[in-house]
């Protein structure tokens, strides 16, 4: 146990911004992200929830993560439960264990974590000496059923929209007129937090400015450790038929220019590179002003995602000034026909226009993201992926500045996973056999083309994701 504690102490020592709040008189919360520290600390939900709980006078919160594989073996060997980063306390000693679960496959880590910590899995088997368990996050909002047999309460929607104390009072401040969805049951015999209840409607926060969602703890030990992350927008109003974003986060909302500038000023105290987060950031009417503000202060930025049809010569010039050399584009399908069936409203011609202006400003490494195994997909649609990648490479080479020699296309084919609460919710998963065939075909078509790199997400993992997204229980 000593070695594992030491590792956590070393992670904590590298952090700026973590809090060790005296739990005396408060409800103590172990905020658990069921994946590793490196992955979890890249997730703004962890930062945001940590701050919300610790800013509240009646709560104190510490974080815990799934140990790395080699450390998990050590945990099992030494019978060491999961410990928090801040004080290396066992999560079973907290009043509440709060799981925040963004991705379906992380659900598989919940049961092993609870078993390792000797916390009974079923609410009715937990007594006054056990913590209550709550679960929230995008994966739980999409399908709360896998956690409903484990959690005392599944919190759907956005946590900011709840009054945290409502969790203990047995209610919520959020409006709740929508239909109830697979609640976790508050067990009658659970006297440790007996009034914990099932919060079952997916409310959303009306005023994002009230909750500055940004990096709270800076650490080099995570993927985006060199950046200060800021959520600029939330949700999306485009409604692509396959996409879970509108169902989870609702329609497009944005923070005010002033609120974003305040977060940027705070971020400059720690980092001069900003990760601007949101599904449609370029839709913010003050995006250019925000970008200029960062650049004028000698900072740089990158964007979590960029819509193809928002890229023009002006935005490409801004990206260049921010030092960007590469760009990721969600193409989804390589033919206009299949893309239209997905509800995506841009054409291949528009994609190449975007690639041209990006290349002209020095972004000569383009990452293309496609989905495979889509409903209505034909062999021609798969072959078109190879043709699209080649055309992209040619377009980059034709438009890149003469001084810029390197050019490349990275092509990622992700198996399509139908998600609940989308128009394609009832579509079948294509199956690992079909996905593997598609991947084999793509390898034949573009596997050895110079300048084009091909990668796939695993068919097996996609199948697991599909099963969990539609599962009734874990
Ligand atoms: S795919 Fe992108 S543009 Fe379409 S609904 Fe989802 S987030 Fe919005």
pTM: 0.91
Q: Is the pLDDT of residue 278 over 50?
A: yes
Among 303-307, 309-313, 455-459, the minimum mean pLDDT is found in 303-307
Nearest to 119 by CA among 97, 92, 95: 92
- Judge if the beta carbon of residue 357 lies within 6 A of ligand 1: no
Helices first, then strands: H and E counts in the chain: 17, 14
> What is the CA(231)–ligand 1 centre distance, in A?
16
> What is the CA(159)–ligand 1 centre distance, in A?
22
- Could you tell me the domains of the chain? 2-169 (3.40.50), 215-469 (3.20.20.70)
DSSP state of 409: E
> What is the CA(193)–ligand 1 centre distance, in A?
39
pLDDT confidence bin for 168, thresholds 50/70/90: low
Express as a percent the part of the chain with pLDDT over 70: 92
pLDDT confidence bin for 1, thresholds 50/70/90: confident
Cα 242 to chain centroid, rounded: 17
Q: Is the pLDDT of residue 86 over 50?
A: yes
- Structural element, H or E, at residue 3: helix 2-13
HSE-CB at 111 with a 13 A cutoff on CA atoms is: 10
Residue 59 neighbours by CB under 8 Å, 6+ apart: 26, 27, 28, 29, 53, 164
> What is the CA(240)–ligand 1 centre distance, in A?
5
> What is the CA(238)–ligand 1 centre distance, in A?
6
Give the position, in ligand 1's atom list, of the atom nearest the Cα of 279: 7
Identify the residue whose C-alpha is closest to ligand 1 atom 2: 279
Best of 234, 243, 244, 278 to mutate for ligand 1, by most ligand atoms within 8 A of CB?
Answer: 243
Q: Is the pLDDT of residue 197 over 60?
A: no
Q: Is the pLDDT of residue 117 over 50?
A: yes
* Burial class of residue 441 (count of CB atoms within 10 Å of its CB; 0-12, 13-18, 19+): middle
- Judge if the beta carbon of residue 247 lies within 6 A of ligand 1: no
Among 3-17, 137-151, 153-167, 246-260, the minimum mean pLDDT is found in 153-167
pLDDT value of residue 130: 96
pLDDT value of residue 45: 97
Identify the residue whose C-alpha is closest to ligand 1 atom 7: 279
350-365: string of b/e by CB count within 10 Å (b at 16+)? ebbbbbbbbbbbbbbb
Give the position, in ligand 1's atom list, of the atom nearest the Cα of 343: 4
254: number of Cβ within 10 Å = 22
Nearest to 264 by CA among 304, 238, 300, 317: 300
> Which tops the pLDDT comparison, 166 or 96?
96
323: left (phi over 0), alpha (psi -120 to 50) or beta: left
- d(C-alpha 277, C-alpha 408), whole Å: 25
- Judge if the beta carbon of residue 279 lies within 6 A of ligand 1: yes
Among 144-148, 402-406, 422-426, the minimum mean pLDDT is found in 402-406
Express as a percent the part of the chain with pLDDT over 90: 82
- Judge if the beta carbon of residue 237 lies within 6 A of ligand 1: no
- d(C-alpha 293, C-alpha 272), whole Å: 12
Best of 233, 241, 245, 309 to mutate for ligand 1, by most ligand atoms within 8 A of CB?
Answer: 245
- d(C-alpha 65, C-alpha 139), whole Å: 17
pLDDT value of residue 473: 79
pLDDT value of residue 198: 39
Among 99-113, 162-176, 319-333, the minimum mean pLDDT is found in 162-176
Q: Is the pLDDT of residue 391 over 80?
A: yes
pLDDT confidence bin for 165, thresholds 50/70/90: confident
- Judge if the beta carbon of residue 245 lies within 6 A of ligand 1: yes
> Which tops the pLDDT comparison, 56 or 165?
56
pLDDT value of residue 256: 98
Mean per-residue pLDDT for 469-473?
Answer: 90
> Which tops the pLDDT comparison, 168 or 342?
342
pLDDT value of residue 139: 96
Q: Is the pLDDT of residue 191 over 90?
A: no
- Judge if the beta carbon of residue 240 lies within 6 A of ligand 1: yes
pLDDT value of residue 251: 85
Q: Is the pLDDT of residue 425 over 80?
A: yes
Q: Is the pLDDT of residue 196 over 70?
A: no
Identify the residue whose C-alpha is closest to ligand 1 atom 4: 240
pLDDT confidence bin for 179, thresholds 50/70/90: very low
What angle is formed at CA 217 by the lines to CA 212 and CA 218, rounded to 5 degrees? 115
Four-point Cα dihedral 148, 231, 27, 143, nearest 10: 0
pLDDT value of residue 272: 97
pLDDT value of residue 173: 33
Best of 238, 333, 346 to mutate for ligand 1, by most ligand atoms within 8 A of CB?
Answer: 238
473: number of Cβ within 10 Å = 10
Give the position, in ligand 1's atom list, of the atom nearest the Cα of 344: 4
> What is the CA(246)–ligand 1 centre distance, in A?
8
Q: Is the pLDDT of residue 167 over 80?
A: no
Among 174-178, 220-224, 226-230, the minimum mean pLDDT is found in 174-178
> What is the CA(394)–ligand 1 centre distance, in A?
27
pLDDT value of residue 448: 82
Among 62-66, 153-157, 334-338, the minimum mean pLDDT is found in 153-157
Helix (H, G, I), strand (E, B) or coil at 393: helix
Instruction: Give per-residue pLDDT as tens, 329-375.
Output: 999 999 999 999 999 999 999 999 999 999 999 999 999 999 999 99
pLDDT value of residue 195: 35
Nearest to 432 by CA among 462, 398, 459: 459
Q: Is the pLDDT of residue 164 over 90?
A: no
- Judge if the beta carbon of residue 145 lies within 6 A of ligand 1: no
pLDDT confidence bin for 183, thresholds 50/70/90: very low
Give the position, in ligand 1's atom list, of the atom nearest the Cα of 246: 5
- Judge if the beta carbon of residue 454 lies within 6 A of ligand 1: no
Q: Is the pLDDT of residue 202 over 70?
A: no
């Amino acid at each position: 146990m000593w070695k594992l504690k030491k590792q956590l102490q070393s992670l904590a020592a590298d952090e700026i911004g973590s809090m060790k709040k005296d739990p005396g008189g408060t409800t103590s919360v172990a905020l658990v992200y069921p994946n590793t520290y490196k992955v979890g600390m890249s997730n703004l939900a962890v930062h945001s929830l940590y701050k919300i709980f610790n800013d509240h006078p009646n709560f104190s919160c510490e974080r815990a993560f799934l140990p790395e594989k080699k450390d998990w073996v050590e945990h099992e060997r030494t019978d060491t439960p999961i410990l928090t980063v801040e004080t290396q306390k066992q999560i079973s000693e907290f009043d509440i264990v709060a799981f925040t679960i963004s991705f379906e496959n992380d659900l598989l880590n919940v049961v092993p974590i609870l078993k390792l910590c000797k916390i009974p899995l079923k609410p009715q088997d937990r007594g006054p000496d056990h913590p209550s368990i709550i679960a929230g996050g995008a994966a739980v909002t999409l399908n709360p059923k896998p956690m409903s047999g484990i959690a005392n309460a599944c919190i759907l929607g956005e946590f900011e929209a709840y009054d945290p104390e409502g969790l203990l009072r047995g209610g919520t401040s959020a409006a709740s007129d929508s239909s109830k969805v697979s609640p976790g049951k508050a067990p009658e015999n659970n006297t440790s937090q007996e009034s914990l209840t099932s919060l079952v409607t997916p409310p959303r926060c009306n005023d994002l400015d009230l909750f500055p969602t940004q990096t709270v703890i800076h650490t080099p030990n995570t993927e985006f450790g060199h950046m200060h992350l800021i959520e600029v927008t939330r949700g999306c109003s485009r409604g692509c038929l396959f996409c879970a974003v509108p169902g989870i986060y609702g329609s497009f909302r944005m923070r005010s220019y002033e609120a974003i500038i305040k977060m940027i000023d705070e971020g400059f105290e720690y980092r001069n590179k900003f990760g601007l987060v949101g599904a449609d950031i370029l839709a913010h009417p003050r995006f250019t002003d925000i970008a200029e503000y960062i650049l004028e202060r000698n900072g740089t930025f990158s964007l979590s995602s960029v819509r193809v049809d928002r890229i023009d010569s002006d935005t490409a010039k801004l990206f260049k000034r921010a030092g960007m050399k590469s760009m990721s584009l969600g193409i989804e399908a390589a033919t206009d026909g299949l893309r239209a069936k997905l509800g995506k409203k841009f054409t291949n011609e528009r994609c190449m226009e975007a690639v041209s202006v990006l290349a002209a400003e020095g972004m000569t490494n383009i990452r293309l993201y496609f989905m495979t195994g889509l409903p209505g997909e034909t062999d021609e649609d798969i072959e078109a992926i190879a043709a699209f990648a080649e055309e992209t490479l040619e377009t980059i080479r034709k438009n890149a500045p003469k001084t810029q020699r390197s050019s490349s296309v990275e092509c990622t084919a992700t198996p399509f996973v139908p998600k609940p609460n989308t128009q394609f919710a009832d579509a079948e998963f294509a199956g690992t056999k079909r996905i593997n065939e598609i991947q084999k075909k793509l390898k034949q078509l573009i596997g050895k083309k110079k300048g084009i790199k091909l990668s796939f997400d695993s068919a097996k993992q996609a199948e697991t994701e599909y099963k969990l997204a539609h599962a009734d229980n874990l």
